[in-house]
């Protein structure tokens, strides 16, 4: 095969006819260098000689990569909300929701790991567990679930501890949204706006009232309503991820304790009750059918 060599913008460039196509590449930047595929594809290091461990490793690694992108997009969302650029925040929130749906679906691949397959290498994992995923914990903190105790397992890793402590102390995505509501004139109490962000968020009646007003008079508050629905979708999919994880775990290990030492499935079931945006869920119970401009007959409550 003839390879044509030229210099383009000072870069050694090549061209060849392959399969009827003119294919080009250069020494400026290759696929492998851009995507660091060498590091990526040599990062699967089984601790056993059991064939099913590869699936287990790659499942975790792909989830970690998606978590990295979700964290990145959540930063974009926070910046956009602070700058009152809600259309930009919504674009990234839509992307996050799509990533989460993809992550939920990907549990199906891990579900091909039978209890027997897993037991062939489970003992080699010692106490390693997803509980120690610092990205997952950072995401929980950054969305609004502040639980300082969970940093403990990262005590011997100064860099990870620093990142988690910073996320713990900073306003979460929900704190940013509540500040936005205050900027739009809603009576969000100072005790909410100026709270110690490292402490768990406690649901507040005035915040619930604000969301109820927004969801009752949608046309008057469309941008805030739309943002509320986007973050509700985020939490909805996050919960679905948790549910699929719990179901996959119960399918693979039953009610055995986890490698990380917890009660296993019972611990994961408890996590299904955690909330990032509590008033956005609570407020729905108080909603009533719209009267003005709606097709609802008087005296016919829906
Ligand atoms: C066969 C596969 C899996 C099993 C049996 C399993 C089991 C468990 C168990 C029992 C826990 C509770 C903590 C413990 O005691 O270890 C846990 C936590 C966790 N796992 Fe998995 N897991 C699996 C796959 C995955 C995958 C693919 C991910 C993706 C990153 C993941 C992420 C997590 C996270 C983030 C937690 C902490 C959850 C929380 O604290 O709310 N797990 N896992």
Whole-number Å distance, alpha carbon 116 to ligand 1 midpoint, is 18
Ligand 1 contacts (CB < 6 A) are 59-60, 63-64, 110, 113, 118, 129-131, 133, 136, 245, 249, 252-253, 258-262, 264, 267-268, 271
pLDDT the model gives residue 299: 46
Across the chain, which has 302 residues, the per-10-residue mean pLDDT values are 96 98 98 98 98 98 98 98 98 98 98 98 98 98 98 97 98 98 98 98 98 96 98 98 98 97 98 98 93 52 48
Ligand 1 mean position, distance from CA 108 (Å): 15
- pLDDT score at 293: 57
How many whole angstroms from 67 Cα to the centroid of ligand 1?
14
Domains annotated on the chain, with CATH? 3-37 (no CATH), 50-286 (1.20.58.480)
CB atoms near residue 125 (< 10 Å): 15
151 phi/psi in degrees, rounded to 5: -75, -20
What is the distance in A from the centroid of ligand 1 to the CA of 55?
Answer: 15
What's the residue count for the chain?
302
Beta pairing class for 21-26 and 3-8: unpaired
**Residue 88, burial from CB neighbour count under 10 angstroms (0-12, 13-18, 19+):** middle
pLDDT of residue 290: 74
Nearest CA to ligand 1 atom 29: 60
Listed residue (266, 267, 260, 262) closest to 126, CA to CA: 260
- Best of 126, 243, 249 to mutate for ligand 1, by most ligand atoms within 8 A of CB? 249
**Cβ density class 187-216: b for 16+ within 10 Å, e for less:** ebeeebeebebeeebeebeebbbbbbbbbe
Residue nearest to atom 5 of ligand 1 (CA): 249
Q: What is the rounded distance in angstroms from the CA atom of residue 69 to the CA atom of residue 75? A: 10
Question: Of 278, 118, 288, nearest to 201 (Cα)?
Answer: 278
Using CA atoms, how far apart are residues 2 and 23, in angstroms rounded to an integer? 12
pLDDT at 264: 98
| Atom nearest to 131 CA in ligand 1 | 37
């Amino acid at each position: 095969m003839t390879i044509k060599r030229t210099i383009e913008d000072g870069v050694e460039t090549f061209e060849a006819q392959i399969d009827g196509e003119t294919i080009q590449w250069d020494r400026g930047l290759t696929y492998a260098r851009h995507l660091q595929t060498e590091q990526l594809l040599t990062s699967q290091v089984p601790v056993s000689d059991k064939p099913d461990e590869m699936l287990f490793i790659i499942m975790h690694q792909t989830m970690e990569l998606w978590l990295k992108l979700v964290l990145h997009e959540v930063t974009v969302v926070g910046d956009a909300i602070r700058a009152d650029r809600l259309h930009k925040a919504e674009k990234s929130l839509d992307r996050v929701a799509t990533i989460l749906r993809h992550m939920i679906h990907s549990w199906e691949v891990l579900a091909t790991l039978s209890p027997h397959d897993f037991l062939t290498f489970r003992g080699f994992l010692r106490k390693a567990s997803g509980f120690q995923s610092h990205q997952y914990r950072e995401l929980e903190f950054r969305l609004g679930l502040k639980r300082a105790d969970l940093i403990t397992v990262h005590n011997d890793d100064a860099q990870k501890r620093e990142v988690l402590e910073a996320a713990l102390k900073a306003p979460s995505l929900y704190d940013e949204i509540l500040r936005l509501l205050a900027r739009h004139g809603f009576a969000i109490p100072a005790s909410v706006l100026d709270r110690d962000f490292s402490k768990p968020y406690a649901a507040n009646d005035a915040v619930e009232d604000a969301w109820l007003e927004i969801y009752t008079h949608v046309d008057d508050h469309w941008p805030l309503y739309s943002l509320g629905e986007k973050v509700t979708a985020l939490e909805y999919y996050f919960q679905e991820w948790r549910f699929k994880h719990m179901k996959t775990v119960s399918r693979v290990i039953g009610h055995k304790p986890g490698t990380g030492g917890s009660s296993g499935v019972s611990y994961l079931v408890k996590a299904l009750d955690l909330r990032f945006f509590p008033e956005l869920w609570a407020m729905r119970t108080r909603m009533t059918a719209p009267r003005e401009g709606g097709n609802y007959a008087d005296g016919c409550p829906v």
